[in-house]
Amino acid sequence: MTPLSINAERLLGRLRDLGQIGRDDDGRLVRLAASDADRAGRDALVAWIRAAGLEVVVDRIGNIFGIWSNDANAEQAPALLGSHIDTVIDAGIYDGCYGVLSGLEVIETLKAAGYAPTRPIAVAAFTNEEGVRYAPDMMGSLVHAGGLSVDEALATIGTDGTVLGAELERIGYAGTEEPGFLRPYAYVELHIEQASVLEREGVSVGAVENLQGISWQRITIEGEANHAGTTPMAMRRDAGHAAACVVTFLRDRALNANSPTVATVGCMSFEPNAINVIPSRAIFTVDLRDPDGERLRTEEAALADYLKELAASEEVTIAVDRLARFEPVTFDRNIVALIEGAARERGLAVKRMTSGAGHDAQMIARIAPAAMIFVPSIGGISHNPREHTPDADLVAGANILLDVVARLAAR
């Protein structure tokens, strides 16, 4: 018997169409959360959801849900699929969008085939997963899972001085439902890998069994501005040099560790930011990640100890603000096994793996069994217009999602 398959042309066409929404004057895809471009993307998604005959519900944090239910199963907890459609600056077209549009495609395929689920099936597009304009990232799913109050989230001030709640109102996506109104029976998120493990090993499908912990901090170093030509090196309180020491410390420690720990300084600014003035202030971010919670705490403690030593040796003042902190997540072993089985039944090589990136699935895992499906990313490139996954892999991943959801919704 030939297995049921999604409509590849429809899925790939929508991916391309959504990928053209939010292009700036330079042709870059920039669909930041609650922006005008985000509104345009949301409008397109909602139109597709309605055309599929699903109920559209928007909650107060702007999460969009397309729900397929009937009188017989409406009281059951739904099988939930989803991801996000907001992007970084100069993004590719697959990150997040592939999971949302595949979830919708799965529901449409099941409906067209006359499938009768014993529980509702819903697709979600969570608000502000990327965290570029408003922090923290994965905000919509975090609020949905009860990890952040909706009022606190709506009061968040963005990098451009806007307030998230006011922006959601402005673009017409400040819903009325309380976040968390839909508590899923299970959650499955399909995503491009955003790394090169699957491509390198020639594997078609990743059954994601865990997701590493993430620690985001903002560090401010205060020194003293002075003349770059007349101040001897030994007499400087150079905030820029101190910041460089932290970058080197983090890189050396991660490289020399016998662990998968990674450390990144992604943002940095100096004041007064003049070529001939010793920096009086350096502000930068630190992103620490590790799949083991104890190791992550060890790295955070090591950084804290180093900052104390650095403050004394460089005669600077150092302040640390925690921006976000998420523990590692272990996904539901039964759903991971379902993903493995579905891949093998379709003759596809499958590998259990860890996600190095954060995803909405890690938040929803707080309230329901959850797991993720990965498909290969060419060259491991993501958050970049060169982000690419071959059409055949995109279709294969959506078909695995189809098989897994059909089983979950029949329980």
Give the model's pLDDT for residue 411. 74
Per residue in 249-290, pLDDT (tens digit) is 999 999 999 899 999 999 999 999 999 999 999 999 999 999
Q: How far is CA 329 from CA 224, 290, 357, 400, in A?
A: 43, 11, 12, 22
Per residue in 21-76, pLDDT (tens digit) is 999 999 999 999 999 999 999 999 999 999 999 999 999 999 999 999 998 999 99
In angstroms, rounded to a whole number, what is the distance separating the alpha carbons of residues 361 and 82?
9
- Complete DSSP assignment for 311-331: HHHHT-EEEEEEEEEE--EE-
Q: How far is CA 140 from CA 143, 312, 349, in A?
A: 5, 41, 33
Residue 160, pLDDT > 80, answer yes
3-state secondary structure of 345: helix
Q: Are 131 and 138 in contact (CB under 8 A)?
A: yes
Over residues 348-371, the mean pLDDT reads 96
Q: Are 126 and 360 in contact (CB under 8 A)?
A: yes
3-state secondary structure of 353: strand
Share of residues in the chain with pLDDT > 70 (%): 100
Give the model's pLDDT for residue 90. 98
Residue 1, pLDDT > 60, answer no
Closest CA to 109 of 255, 10, 183: 10
Per residue in 174-215, pLDDT (tens digit) is 999 999 999 999 999 999 999 999 999 999 999 999 999 999
Give the model's pLDDT for residue 3. 84
Q: Is 111 exposed, middle or buried (0-12, 13-18, 19+ CB in 10 A)?
A: middle
Give the model's pLDDT for residue 2. 66
Per residue in 118-134, pLDDT (tens digit) is 999 999 999 999 999 99
Over residues 310-314, the mean pLDDT reads 98
Give the model's pLDDT for residue 130. 97
**Maximum Cα interatomic distance, the chain, rounded to a whole number of Å:** 82
